[in-house]
Structure 1
Amino acid sequence: MLSIAICDDDRKDTDKLETLVNGYMSQSPFSYDIKKYCSGEELLESSETFDLLFLDIALGGMNGIEVGTKIRESNRGLKIIYTTSYKQFCKQAVNRAHAFAYLVKPVTKDKIDRQLDEILSCIQEEHEDKETVAFEIMEITDKGELESRIKDFEVDDIFYFEYFNRKIKIKLEKEEYFFKDKMKDLADKMQLHNFETCHQCFLVNLRHVKKIKGYEVFLNNNDIIPVSQKRSAEFRKKLNTFIQNSI
């Protein structure tokens, strides 16, 4: 499912853009969902995670460049296409918010089709290059019996691991699985995939860290996990390094 957002404070521009995007996507092999926002503040308050964002630069309140810069702090894989009537802001949009592209209004079908061709090609290539890891998970069968099987997981889908009741829990956005391992061995294995230990019982995917406040880590799925005082400084340092390397 490709998750798409449109953020524009002009209702007519929003509706027109939605119609154009629907027209293109309905002919593509991708399933998709579109959500609309009328301000940057409303978008930032949303708990949704998007793959593609059409973002107007000249928003009331926070402007689109400020919003794009802010939202990419917690969703670094997001593709942003700016829409604007002011060409002079386009360079700033690319440099500050790392926009995928920008479209000068009025937005037309040809412009949208061209950009979506590029976006979907890029997303498809990224999907084919996804890193995966495998674990021997434990599950209860329909007969109430405990059995184990090997299951592959896309690294990006894993939010964190938690040592729990002598087992390790894999936490995805809407699912969780359990397997047996030592946290130290797991941390060594997952460090190559940008996972870091923030607490003796938690190993977190740095891609999904929204912010750190005090001794708590806030994730994109709204989960909050602890940071131990002993590990706080080192964890913050590694997170900052990861963010810098992702820009």
Structure 2
Amino acid sequence: MNIAICDDDKKICSQIENILLDYSNKNCLKVEIDVFFSGENLLSYLAQGNSYDLIYLDIEMGVINGVEVGFQIRKVMKNYATEIVYISGKDGYDRQLFDVQPLHFIPKPIQASTVIDDLKLAMERAKKINESFQYQKSHDFYKISINDIIYFESQNREIKIVTTNCEDMFYGKLEDIELKVAGYQFLRIHRSFLINYNHVAILRYSEVVMSNDVTLPIGRTKRQEFRNLQINEI
């Protein structure tokens, strides 16, 4: 697993790095860790085509804070695969952090158990992302990476599957698809739409904008549920 630590406090960076290295050595895990002391340096490195599975990202930094770094990763670079764990000694960032869809929030002072728990969660989610969804057309079977699926749409007796690479149609019921992808962060936002939450770029009261810039409606009966999701995300 490729991990980045970004904090302008070198002691915090060293602490998190040592926690991760100690845990990985004891559990025979292969991890590669890069350390950045500013948001600008991290963004510059990512802009060169590099990527990470997990980033431990401080919020209160110099010129570019962690919230802006997260926004650049999600909205500008269109990277919704990298898990982001925010670090801060302050509260009150709930609304801003929700827009970045972080994995978790770690308060200062840093606790080793929290850092390790987030590493475990990121690894578990990575396993699920690498799994596939299978569907049938006539006598042929097709497999699509779960992570590549943006949403499913019910159109009469057919299901439209929209991915990062293509679109396809097959016969089926959205209720059956919902059961197949249970546990993979797919959400039923409307009687006709089942979305991959990892591909939500913008969440509004009555609609969502997906990572492919398609806007989908949220059903009236689902809006409060999504409002609660927004509140409880952090």
The TM-score range, normalised by the shorter chain, is 0.5 to 0.7
Q: Is the 8 A contact 2:133 2:146 kept in 1?
A: yes
Which residue matches 2:80?
Answer: 76
Unmatched 5+ stretches in structure 2: 135-142, 149-160, 168-209, 218-234
CA distance in 2 between partners of 1:194 and 1:112 (Å):
31
1:218-229 counterparts in 2 under 5 A?
A: none
Q: In structure 2, do the counterparts of structure 1 residues 97 and 14 end up closer, same or farther at CA, with 3 Å as the change threshold?
A: same
Indicate the SS of the match to 1:123.
helix
Change (3 A) 1:29 1:50: same
The alignment's TM-score, normalised by the length of structure 1, stands at 0.53
Amino acid aligned to 2:65: N
Distance in 1 (alpha carbons) for counterparts of 2:33 and 2:82: 15
Q: Is the 8 A contact 1:54 1:80 kept in 2?
A: yes
Larger Rg over CA atoms: 1
Corresponding residue number in structure 1 for 2:178: none
RMSD of Structure 2 on Structure 1 (CA): 3.4
Contact 1:84 1:105 in 2 (8 A): yes
Q: Aligned equivalents of 1:13 and 1:243: distance in 2?
A: 41
- Give the 3 Å change call, closer, same or farther, for CA 103–156 of structure 1 in structure 2: closer
Counterparts of 1:43 and 1:123, CA distance in 2: 22
CA shift in 2, pair 1:72/1:114, >3 Å: same
Q: Distance in 2 between matches of 1:57 and 1:111?
A: 17
Q: Corresponding residue for 1:85?
A: 89
Q: Which of 18, 38, 53 is equivalent to 2:55?
A: 53
1:96 aligns with 2:99: yes
Normalised by the length of structure 2, the TM-score is 0.56
1:94–1:100 CA contact under 8 A, matched in 2: no
SS where residue 42 of structure 1 aligns? helix
Alignment coverage as a number of residue pairs: 154
Please state how far the C-alpha of 1:153 moved relative to its aligned partner: 9.8
The 5 A counterparts of 1:204-223 are none
Partner residue, 1:17? 16
Confirm whether residue 116 of structure 1 aligns to residue 89 of structure 2.
no
Question: What letter corresponds to residue 59 of structure 1 in structure 2?
Answer: M
**Distance in 1, Cα, partners of 2:11 & 2:216:** 36
Tell me the CA shift for residue 24 of structure 1.
1.8
Structure 1 segments unaligned to the other structure (5+ residues): 133-151, 158-190, 198-236
**1:238 to 1:49, Cα distance in 2 relative to 1, 3 A:** closer
Q: Which amino acid aligns with 1:195?
A: N
Q: Residues of 1 paired with 2:215 and 2:56: CA distance?
A: 26
Q: For residues 77 and 58 of structure 1, what CA distance do their matches in structure 2 show?
A: 23
SS in 2 for 1:36: strand
Contact 1:52–1:80 (Cα < 8 Å) also in 2:
yes
Residue aligning to 1:240: 213
Q: Which amino acid aligns with 1:42?
A: N
Encode CA deviations 1:146-171: one digit per residue, 9 max, x unaligned. Answer: xxxxxx996979xxxxxxxxxxxxxx
Task: Report the alpha carbon displacement of residue 26 of structure 1 after superposing the two structures with TM.
Answer: 2.3
2:189 match: none
> Is 1:6–1:14's contact at 8 Å kept on the other side of the alignment?
yes
For residues 215 and 23 of structure 2, the distance between their equivalents in structure 1, rounded to whole angstroms, comes to: 35
* 1:147-196 per-position Cα deviation (integer Å, ceiling 9, x unaligned): xxxxx996979xxxxxxxxxxxxxxxxxxxxxxxxxxxxxxxxx853215
Task: Tell me, yes or no, if structure 1 residue 125 matches structure 2 residue 128.
Answer: yes
1:35 aligns with 2:34: yes
